[in-house]
A and B are shown apart, each in its own frame.
Chain A
Amino acid sequence: MFRKKWYAAALAAIACSAHAQQSDEVKRLEERVQQLEQRVQESQAQAAARQQSESAFNPAVSATLNGVYANLKQNPDTYRINGFVPTMSAVAPPPRGFSLGESELGIAANVDHLFRGTLIAAIQPDGTGVDVEEAYIQTLALSHGFSVKAGRFFSAVGYQNQIHAHAWDFTDAPLVMKAFLGGQLKEDGVQVKWIAPTDLYLDIGAEFGRGAQFPGATAGKNGAGSVNAFTNLGGDIGAGMAWQAGLSYYQTSPGDRAYDDPLSATANSFTGSSKLWALSGVLKWAPNGNNTVSNFKLQGEYFRRKEDGDLTFDPAGAALADAYKSAQSGWYAQAVYQFMPKWRVGYRYDELSSGATTIGLVDSGALAPASFPILAEYKPTRHTAMLDWSPSEFSRVRLQFARDYSRQGEPDNQVFLQYIVSLGAHGAHRF
C-alpha cells in the first residue's frame, strides 16, 4: 500500500519536474520510499518472530558445565578437617588429574501471576544420578515487602551458601562451609522474608526446614527440624561502592547423626542440639560503579557453632554413650580484583578453631582420647590464590593454588585448572 502511494507520489513529482529544484525533491522522495520499504520489511520480520507456537511458553533453560584438572600433593581420598566432626558429605577436593564437575541444569519461569518456579538439578559426573540442588516456588504478587519461598533452596546461612558454586570466586568452598555446613546447606522447607520500606536495605527472614542435612540429621518428627533466622543490611557509599552485612542463627536438633572417624575407622553418632551463628560482610567497588574495566570485591564470614548432647561410641558394637559439648568457630576473608577487562586475581585466607571439645567418655576414663582422633584440638588454615580469565560473561577459565592445612601434619598443595561455562538463558546473579 505504502509503496504504491509513494511510487505514485514520486511519479507525480517526476511528471511535473521541469526544474532542477524539483528533481532534488524527487531524489528525496525516492529516498523516503526506500526507507519505508525497509521499515515494512523489518516490521514483517518482527511479526514473523512472534508466530504462534506451542513452545512460546517454554521456561528459561540454562546449563552450566565445568571441568577441573587437579594436581594434589595429598590423596584427596584421605581428606579430613582435623578437630571437626566429619560431615559425611562431598567436601574433599576433586580427584587427581582430569575430572568433570557437576553439570547443572536450570529451568525457571513464572508459573502464573502469583508464583515463580525454579529447578536446578546437578547431574553427577560419576553416574550416581541427579541431585536436586534447588527446586522451589516463590511468590510474586505479595506486597509490602513480603515474599515466601517453598521447596528446596540454599539456606540463608551466611553469604556464600546462597550462591551457586559456578558463581563462586574460587574453585572450592571456604573451610567454614566445609566444616560447618557440609559444603553447602540445602534446606527443604519454607522461607519467609520481609524487606523494610527504607532507603537503607534491611531484610528480616526466617526459614523452617526439614533439618535432614548436616549439621542436622533426620529426626523423623512433625514440625520443623531446623529453624534459621536471618537479617541483612545493605547500601551504597557514593556511586562506586556497595556493601551488605548479614547475621543468621541456625538451630537444629540432630538425632543419631552418624560419622566415621577417618583416623580410627570407628563409627560414632551424636544426638543433641546444634546452634550456628553466621556473620557475613561483602563490599564491592568499581570506579563510578562501572564494573566492566576494573572492580574490587571484599568478602568475609565468621561462623560459630555450639553443640551440646550425647556422643555414642561405636553404636553397632560397644555402644558407649556420654555427654558431648563443643564450641567451635572459623572465618575466612577474600579479596578479588579485576585489574583489566576479562582478568581477575584473588586471594583467600581460611582459619578454623576447633576449641576444646568435652567428651564425657574420655573425661570419665571410659575411653582414651585416642578413640576420637579426629576430634583432637586443632586449628586448620588455608591460603588460596587464583587468577581467572573471562572472555565473555558466559565463560571463565581459572587457575588456583592452595596451601591447605586441613589435615593435621599433612599440608596439601593444591593446583586447580578449571573451566566454567553457561549456556542458554542469561541468568541473573545475586549481589
Chain B
Amino acid sequence: MRWLFLFCMLTSLPAAAAINVFACEPEWAALAQELGGDKVAAVSATTAFQDPHHIEARPSLIARVRSADLVICSGSDLEVGWLPLLLSQSGNGRVQPGSPGYLEASQYVMRLEVPRVLDRSMGDVHPGGNPHIHTDARNIAKVAAVLGARLAQIDAANAATYRSRTQDFDRRWKEAIARWEQQAARLKGVTVVPHHKDFSYLINWLGMREAGDLEPKPGIPPTTSQLAQLVDQMKQAPAKMIVYSSYNDPKAAQFLSQRTGIPSVMLPFTVGGSDKAKDLFGYFDDVIARLTGPLQ
C-alpha cells in the first residue's frame, strides 16, 4: 500500500511548466510551437525521413504519450498501425479520442480522394480520404485556428497568450500564402508524376496536374512493370517533373528520370525534410523553390 501511495505522490507532482504536446508528424509539432511559444514543449513521433504509415509503436513513444497533455495527429487512418497502440498502452486518460487532449487535424479540412468504394485490392487506401493534408498551406491555417483554441482550453491560465499568438500566426501565414501563390503562379497546369499520394493537396492547391504515380497502388512499392508503363506514357505525354518525398526510396524516381530525361525533384515531406525546411514557413518556401527551379 505504501509503495502505491508513493507512486501516486510521484506521478501527481506538478508537471513542468510547459504543456506537453505529442505530435504524430513534425508539421503539427512545429505548428504547436508557433502557437504556444515557450508555454508549449512539442515533440514529434516521426521525422520527415520516416514513412508515417509504418512506424513502430516504440517504448519511447509510449513514454511520451504517457506524459502528453495534447496529442495532435493527421488522422484519417494515417497512423492506424501504431497510434491506437500508443494511446491504449499509455495509461493516459487525457489524450484518448473524444477528450480535449486528442486532435485529428484532417477532421477540420476538406479532404481529397475520399474513396467511394473501399477494397484493399486498391492498395492502402484511407476510408477518410487522403491524410497528407499539410502540403496545402491553407489547411495549416485551418488547423492552426482549431489547435490555438484547443491549447487555450487545455491550459486556460495562458489562454490569452495562445489567442494572441494564434492571431499573429494567422496574419503572418496569410501573407505568406499570398506570396507563395504568387511565386507558384507558373506551376499552374504543370503536370507532375509523384511517388506516392503525398502531395495531392499541394498539387491541388497550386493547380498542378498529376499524371500517374510511381506506386502502382497507394502503399505498394513501385514495380518494374509499373515503371516501364510510365516510361511509355511519358514518351507519349511527358510530364514536367517527377516528385518524390524525403522519406521515399529515390530509386524509382531516378530510374524514370534517367529513362525519360524528365527532372526528378525531391520535396521535403514535412518540416525538417531539408536544410531550409526548418519551420513551417521555411518548409513551403523550400517546396515552392524546388518545384519552380526546373521550370526556369
Interface residues of chain A, those whose CB is within 8 Å of chain B, are 39, 42-43, 45-46, 49, 110, 113, 116, 138, 140-147, 193-202, 232-236, 239, 242-244, 284, 288-293, 341-342, 391-394, 423, 426-431
CB pair A201–B88 under 8 Å, yes or no, is no
Which among A142, A235, A239, A288 is the interface contact of B59 at CB below 8 angstroms? Answer: A235
In this complex, what residue of B is CB-closest to A423? B120
B66 sits at the interface (CB 8 A): yes
- Given A42-B114, A45-B116, A199-B63, A393–B11 Cβ distance below 8 Å? no
Q: Which residues of A contact B50 (CB under 8 A)?
A: 239, 288-290
B residues apposed to A, CB below 8 Å: 7-8, 10-12, 46-47, 49-51, 54, 56-60, 62-64, 66-67, 77, 80-85, 88-94, 96-98, 110-112, 114, 116, 120, 123-124, 129, 219-221, 247, 249
Q: How far is the CA of A80 from the CA of B22 in the complex (A)?
A: 50
- Chain A residue contacts of B11, Cβ below 8 A: 144-145, 197
How many Å from the CB of B83 to the closest CB on chain A? Answer: 8
A56 to chain B, nearest CB (A): 13
- In the complex, the answer to whether B81 meets A428 with C-beta atoms within 8 Å is yes
Neighbouring B residues of A140 by C-beta, 8 Å: 88, 93, 96
A423 to B121, CA, bound (A): 11
Chain B residues in 8 Å Cβ range of A427: 81
Residues of B within 8 A of A244 (CB): 59
Chain A residue, CB-CB nearest to B248: A292
Q: Give Cα distance in the complex from A147 to B88, angstroms.
A: 9
Supply 6 further A-B pairs (C-beta < 8 A) apart from A195-B91, A293-B249, A428-B85. Answer: A42-B114, A197-B11, A242-B60, A289-B47, A291-B54, A292-B51
Bound CA–CA A291/B46 (angstroms):
12
Q: How far is the CA of A98 from the CA of B112 in the complex (A)?
A: 45
Closest-CB distance, A135 to chain B (whole angstroms): 16
Alpha-carbon distance between A234 and B56 when the two chains are bound, in angstroms: 13
Q: For A43, list chain B residues within 8 Å (CB).
A: 110
Q: Which one of B7, B123, B129, B219 lies within 8 Å of A194 (CB-CB)?
A: B7
Of the candidates B10, B60, B80, B91, the one whose C-beta lies within 8 Å of that of A236 is B60
A141, B97: Cα distance in complex, Å: 10
A197 lies within 8 A of B67 (CB): yes
Closest to B79 in A: A428
Q: Are A46 and B219 in contact (CB under 8 A)?
A: no
Q: B91 near A142 (CB under 8 angstroms)?
A: yes
A341 touches B88 (CB 8 A): no
Contact B124 A143 (CB under 8 A): no
Known: A234-B58, A239-B47, A291-B56. A428 touches B66 (CB 8 A): no
**Closest A residue, CB atoms, query B249:** A293
Please name all residues of chain B whose beta carbon is closer than 8 Å to the beta carbon of A232 when the two chains form the complex: 59
The minimal Cβ–Cβ distance linking A254 to chain B, given in whole angstroms, is 30
Residues of B within 8 A of A341 (CB): 221, 249
- Per the bound structure, the CA–CA distance linking A290 and B51 in Å amounts to 6
> Given A232-B59, A426-B77, A431-B59: A147 and B10 within 8 A (CB)?
no
Contact A143 B60 (CB under 8 A): no
A140, A342, A427, A428, most chain B CB atoms within 10 A: A428
Contact residues of A: prevailing secondary structure:
mixed
A199 adjacent to B60 (CB under 8 Å): yes
Kindly identify which residue among A45, A141, A431 contacts B56, using a CB–CB cutoff of 8 Å.
Answer: A431
Contacts of B54 in A (CB 8 A): 291-292, 393
A147 with B89: CB separation less than 8 A: yes
A423 to B120, CA, bound (A): 9
**Residues on the B chain within 8 Å of A430, using CB:** 57, 85, 89
Write the nearest CB–CB distance from B177 to chain A, whole angstroms: 17
Give the CA-CA distance A232 to B62 in the complex, in Å: 12
B114 x A45 contact (CB < 8 A): yes
Q: Which 7 A-B pairs have the closest CB atoms?
A: A234-B59, A201-B59, A141-B93, A201-B63, A144-B11, A288-B49, A428-B85
Contact A428:B93 (CB < 8 A) given known A242-B58, A290-B247, A393-B54: no
Give Cα distance in the complex from A290 to B126, angstroms: 21
Q: Given the complex, which residues of A lie within 8 Å of B91, measured CB to CB?
A: 142-147, 193-195
**Residues of A close to B51: CB separation below 8 A:** 290-292
Would you call A289 and B49 a contact (CB within 8 A)?
A: yes
Q: List 8 A-B contacts (CB under 8 A).
A: A140-B88, A145-B11, A195-B89, A200-B63, A201-B59, A288-B49, A428-B80, A430-B57
Name the one of B80, B110, B111, B220 contacting A392, with C-beta atoms under 8 angstroms. B220
Within the complex, the shortest CB–CB distance from A290 to chain B, in Å, comes to 5
* Most central of A199, A202, A235, A290 by chain B CB within 10 Å: A290
A393-B81 in contact (CB<8A):
yes
Which B residue's beta carbon lies closest to that of A287? B49
Contact B57 A428 (CB under 8 A): yes
Known contacts A200-B63, A341-B249; A428/B84 CB under 8 A: yes
Within the assembled complex, what's the spacing in Å between the Cα atoms of A93 and B173? 63
Nearest chain B CB to A369's CB is how many angstroms away?
47
Q: Which chain A residues border B111 with CB–CB below 8 Å?
A: 46
Partner of A145, one of B64, B92, B96, B249: B92
B62: chain A residues within 8 A (beta carbon): 195, 201, 234
Residues of chain B within 8 A of A46, CB atoms compared: 111, 114, 129
Tell me, in angstroms, the Cα distance from A279 to B110 when the chains sit together: 49
Q: How far is the CA of A243 from the CA of B94 in the complex (A)?
A: 27
Q: Are A49 and B114 in contact (CB under 8 A)?
A: yes
Bound-state Cα–Cα, A235 to B56, Å = 12
Q: Which residues of A contact B7 (CB under 8 A)?
A: 144, 194
